[in-house]
């Protein structure tokens, strides 16, 4: 078997996530026995185009969908699902131990169960037991199987153990049915793998387990995006928030091993591994946040919530004429606004009530607010941020400067993280929203560390 010549791609390899001390990154691509196995061939291509050395380890069932010759041709290596081939090379230990990344796509319900229970009945499960690098599982199965309590428990066990289980996409499944259970697109799985490798690089030995972060295993809820307050069936009052900061926070928390719920009104691609709850209005956001906060260890309000909404919703489109073919209205309509709830202040209030009721001083989640400020004649950004922190009563406040063309929708930002006393714990930027998110979580990690553990 010869290696097929690499096709020119025009893409630069991802130097960021490449171990500096070694040559090619060693990736093991596990393939489970599902119809989506064909997509793993595209994922394999993305890794090899990046210059990675990929070893494909299919299950026996996977070979029913895509045969060994395909994997061998694409990876340039022999492929087996069994521990009994080339035994003198001890493949059942060597492949997992020497890997920089193990990614399994698709991970079937059966494979998740075997991995969760430590089975070692084929080469892939042996690899999963011997790997000491980041392990990413991308499940794909029918919705009923994904939502079955057995699978839910297996996924929770794997995540607790530090395995990255990517949330499946929603959409058309094998038959005519639709729902959560689709394998995410190969590009998304590849991007999730690179993000995981990026956060684990530079830490010995070769890779860092996300168990190193105190966020690992914590339940984190992040809100993102600007709310939309409907005026009529086609119009709404909105704001310039893109949601990028909230999504970057969610992605970074997932990379640190947290169990992340993202409550969002933005229409960006779902961060791999997040439980995504979609909302539109401030009131929908409020009920989603207060429900999610009850089980959470940390809540971050990065959403740009509309403080006001139209007092009346017009069931049909507001017209500028009296009716079809009729005269235009003399006056433009006046839109009366009413206040929306302050969700952040409400979360802090609910936590205070919980603490009063239980007598437990640390009950409820740690609560992090954001302050989008412009600075004006009455004070600069930090002055306004300190006042907001005192008003809202949250544990940390992330202040950033906003204005037309600044921050909203942009990829770069500057953030200041303030402690309850108003002191600036850290400033990051101008930098990417991903790097700003890392700084925010660093500050949260420090603050969580000094809180006594929560009673369950
Ligand atoms: N927030 C909220 N509910 C609102 C308004 C804001 O939960 N109705 C949250 C935001 O998600 C953010 C923080 O409160 O975490 C500060 O939001 P910001 O828009 O900066 O401040 P406001 O409270 O709206 O005050 P102002 O508009 O007067 O600056």
Query: Which atom in ligand 1 lies closest to the alpha carbon of residue 346?
Result: 7
**Tokens 């960021």 -> residue:** 16
Per-residue confidence (pLDDT) for residue 272, from 0 to 100: 81
pLDDT of 455 reads 45
Cα angle 314, 317, 323 (rounded to 5 degrees) comes to: 110
- Residue 323: pLDDT over 80: no
Q: What is the pLDDT of residue 178?
A: 74
- pTM score, two decimals? 0.61
**pLDDT over 60 at 428, yes or no:** yes
The answer to whether the CB of 370 is under 6 A from ligand 1 is: yes
> pLDDT digits over 330-386, tens only?
788 899 999 999 999 999 999 999 999 999 999 999 999 999 888 788 888 999 999
Q: Whose CA is nearest to atom 18 of ligand 1?
A: 371
Query: Considering the chain, what is the average pLDDT of its residues?
Result: 86
The answer, yes or no, to whether any atom of ligand 1 lies below 6 A from the CB of 305, is yes
With a 6 A CB cut-off, is 301 part of the ligand 1 pocket? Answer: yes
Q: How far are the Cα atoms of 317, 374, 407 from residue 380, in angstroms, in the given order?
A: 42, 8, 17
Closest CA to 163 of 172, 171, 150, 154: 154
pLDDT tens-digit map of 213-255? 899 889 999 999 999 999 999 999 999 999 999 999 999 999 8
Enumerate the active-site residues: 239
Mean pLDDT of 321-327: 75
Distance of CA 244 from the midpoint of ligand 1 (Å)? 17
Say yes or no to pLDDT of 321 above 70. Answer: yes
Could you tell me the domains of the chain?
24-210 (3.40.50.1950), 219-310+337-450 (3.40.50.10300)
The answer, yes or no, to whether any atom of ligand 1 lies below 6 A from the CB of 371, is yes
Q: State the distance from the centre of ligand 1 to the C-alpha of 369, rounded, in angstroms.
A: 8
What's the CA-to-centroid distance between 431 and ligand 1, angstroms? 23
Q: What mean pLDDT is predicted for residues 301-324?
A: 92
Instruction: Give per-residue pLDDT as tens, 437-454.
Output: 999 999 999 998 655 545
Q: 127 exposed, middle or buried (CB, 10 Å; 0-12, 13-18, 19+)? A: buried
The pair phi, psi for residue 190, each rounded to 5°, is -60, -45
Q: SS3 for the chain, per residue? A: CCCCCCCCCCCCCCHHHCCCCCCCCEEEEEECCCCCHHHHHHHHHHHHHCCCEEEEEECCCHHHHCCHHHHHHHHCCCCCCCCCCCHHHCHHHHHHHCCCEEEEEEECHHHHHHHHCCCCCCHHHHHHHHCCCCEEEEECCCHHHHHCHHHHHHHHHHHHCCCEECCCEEEECCCCCEEEEECCCHHHHHHHHHHHHHHHCCCCCCCCCHHHCCCCCCEEEEEECECCEEEECCEEECCCCCCHHHHHHHHHHHHCCCEEEEEECCCCCCCCCCEEEECCCHHHHHHHHHHHHCCCCEEEECCECCCEEECCCCCCCCCCECCCCCCECCCCCCCCEEECCCHHHHHHHHHHHHHHHHCCCCCCCEEEEEEEECCECCECHHHHHHHHHHHHCCCEEEEEECECCECCCCCEEEEEEECCCCCEEEEEEEEEHHHHHHHHHHHHHHHHHHCCCCCC
Share of the chain above pLDDT 90, in %: 64
pLDDT tens digit sequence for 25-38: 999 999 999 999 99
Paired sense of beta strands 219-224 and 298-301, if any: parallel
Mutate to test the pocket of ligand 1, among 302, 371, 440 (most ligand atoms within 8 A of CB): 371
Q: Is the dihedral of CA 250, 253, 255, 260 positive or negative?
A: negative
State the pLDDT at residue 431.
86
| Probe residue for ligand 1, chosen from 229, 305, 384, 417 as the CB with the greatest number of ligand atoms within 8 Å | 305
Q: Which atom of ligand 1 approaches the CA of 289 most closely?
A: 7
pLDDT at residue 451, rounded to an integer = 55
């Amino acid at each position: 078997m010869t290696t097929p010549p690499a096709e020119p791609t025009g893409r630069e390899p991802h130097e960021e996530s490449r171990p500096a001390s070694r040559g090619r990154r060693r990736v093991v691509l596990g393939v489970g026995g599902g119809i989506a196995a064909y997509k793993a061939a595209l994922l394999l291509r993305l890794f090899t185009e990046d210059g990675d050395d990929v070893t494909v380890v299919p299950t026996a069932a996977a070979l029913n969908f895509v045969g060994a010759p395909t994997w061998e041709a694409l990876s340039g290596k022999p492929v087996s699902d069994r521990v009994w081939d080339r035994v003198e090379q001890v493949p059942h230990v060597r492949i997992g131990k020497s890997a920089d990344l193990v990614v399994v796509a698709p991970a079937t319900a059966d494979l998740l169960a075997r991995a969760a229970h430590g089975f070692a009945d084929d080469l892939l499960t042996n690899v999963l037991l011997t790997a000491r690098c980041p392990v990413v599982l991308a499940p794909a199965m029918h919705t009923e199987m994904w939502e079955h309590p057995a699978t839910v428990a297996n996924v929770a066990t794997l995540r607790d153990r530090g395995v990255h289980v990517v949330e499946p996409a929603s959409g058309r499944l094998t038959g005519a049915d639709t729902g959560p259970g689709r394998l995410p697109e190969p590009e998304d799985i590849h991007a999730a793998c690179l993000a995981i490798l990026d956060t684990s690089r530079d830490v010995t030995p070769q890779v860092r387990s996300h168990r190193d972060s105190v966020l690992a295993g914590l339940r984190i809820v992040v809100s993102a995006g600007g709310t939309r307050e409907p005026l009529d069936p086609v119009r709404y009052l909105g704001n310039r928030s893109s949601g990028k900061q909230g999504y970057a926070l969610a992605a970074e928390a997932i990379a640190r091993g947290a169990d992340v719920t993202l409550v969002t009104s933005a229409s960006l691609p779902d961060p791999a591994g997040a439980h995504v709850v979609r909302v539109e209005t401030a009131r929908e956001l409020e009920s989603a946040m207060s429900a999610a906060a009850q089980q959470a260890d940390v809540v971050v309000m990065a959403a740009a919530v509309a403080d006001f909404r139209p007092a009346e919703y017009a069931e049909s489109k507001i017209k500028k004429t009296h009716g079809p073919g009729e005269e235009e209205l003399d006056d433009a309509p006046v839109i009366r606004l009413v206040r929306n709830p302050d969700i952040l202040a409400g979360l802090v209030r609910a936590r205070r009530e919980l603490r009063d009721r239980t007598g437990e001083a640390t009950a409820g989640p740690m609560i992090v607010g954001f302050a989008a400020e412009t600075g004006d004649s009455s004070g600069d950004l930090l002055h306004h941020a300190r006042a907001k922190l005192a008003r809202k009563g949250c544990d940390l406040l992330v202040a950033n400067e906003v204005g037309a063309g600044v921050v909203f929708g942009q990829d770069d930002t500057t953030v200041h993280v303030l402690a309850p006393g108003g002191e600036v714990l850290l400033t990051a930027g101008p930098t990417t929203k991903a790097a700003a998110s890392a700084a925010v979580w660093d500050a949260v990690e420090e603050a969580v560390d000094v809180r006594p553990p929560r009673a369950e």
